[in-house]
Amino acid sequence: MSKFKKFSLPYLVWMIIFTGIPLILMVIFAFSTIETFSAYTFNFSDFHFTCANLNALIDLSFLKAFSRSIIYALIATLLCLLIGYPIAYFISRSNIKNKYLLLLIFIMPMWTNMLLRVQTINRLLSENSFFTNVFNFTINLSNAKDVKIIAVMTIVYLPFMIFPIYTVLEKMDKSIFEASNDLGAGSIKTFFKVTIPNSTKGIYSGIMMVFLPAAMGFTIPKIVTQEDPNYSMVGQLIERQFKNYITFYNVGSMYSLVIVIFVLGSLYIISKVDEEGETLL
């Protein structure tokens, strides 16, 4: 296999340019006094090492945004699990010849642009939506923006919970269900004593695959709340550090560095739970 290693060189170069260098720049900004940056000119004259930017992590606005992100993501992840597990279980245990047709229902929305999906779901949960005009039925969550954010997150990220759980359930040896029935366990006891314990890999992977983008994203809360600062999440907070008229690269980089550490820690947990990566689609 060593003769094929040279084919990995382009990917290595790609990773260095688009992953390694940005991470290095993030660390430099997070622990320095550099206040200006250009992709064409990088001036080190104002570079001084400092840990003062760590104070931004105890800033009230960051703590509120970070805690709000964690709470919203946890609730959305729990809802995805409660909804997604029964769906994955039903598809895996159904006698339909082509089960992929059912999975296609959940895959097809993912083929569209995420921004379009979020906008569509947001409008369906608003006043004068498609439901109002066609069915004379309104699901208006505009006055409960926190509930609306969680609802949109749940709908958007639900497929990421269904697929890893379905993968584990589909690969599960069906003979263990027969053995459970032969030993006198009913369908309910078999579900809680056999099915769920043997599908924990899919559950853990699904939780991480939903929780991470839900907690760190900024598109959903930005669109749903129309950039209401009272519902800002950590992704929006980072975005504002780089897009305002007065940029704060140092503070934004420090926030981003915390998120990178958080994500890498979560991926490490996934790698330990599912070492073969069979549930990561």
> Which tens digits make up the pLDDT trace of 172-228?
877 787 787 777 777 788 888 888 888 888 898 899 889 988 988 888 998 888 888
- For the cut 60, the answer to whether the pLDDT of residue 1 exceeds it is no
Identify the band that residue 232 occupies on the pLDDT scale cut at 50, 70 and 90: confident
Q: Write phi, then psi, for 22 (nearest 5 degrees).
A: -60, -40
| Dist CA 167 CA 201 (whole Å) | 10
Mean pLDDT on 29-54 = 72
Between residues 96 and 162, the one the model is more confident about: 162
Identify the band that residue 136 occupies on the pLDDT scale cut at 50, 70 and 90: confident
What's the pTM?
0.84
Identify the band that residue 123 occupies on the pLDDT scale cut at 50, 70 and 90: confident
Most confident of 74-78, 177-181, 265-269: 74-78
Identify the band that residue 162 occupies on the pLDDT scale cut at 50, 70 and 90: very high
Mean pLDDT on 110-114 = 83
Mean pLDDT on 141-155 = 89
Between residues 10 and 71, the one the model is more confident about: 71
pLDDT reported for residue 80: 95
pLDDT reported for residue 76: 95
Strand partners, 49: 32
Q: Which of 29-38, 112-121, 189-198 has the lowest mean pLDDT?
A: 29-38
Q: Which of 84-88, 238-242, 263-267, 269-273 has the lowest mean pLDDT?
A: 269-273
Most confident of 8-12, 138-142, 230-234: 230-234
pLDDT reported for residue 281: 47
Per-chain mean pLDDT for the chain = 82
Proportion of the chain above pLDDT 90, given as a percent: 16
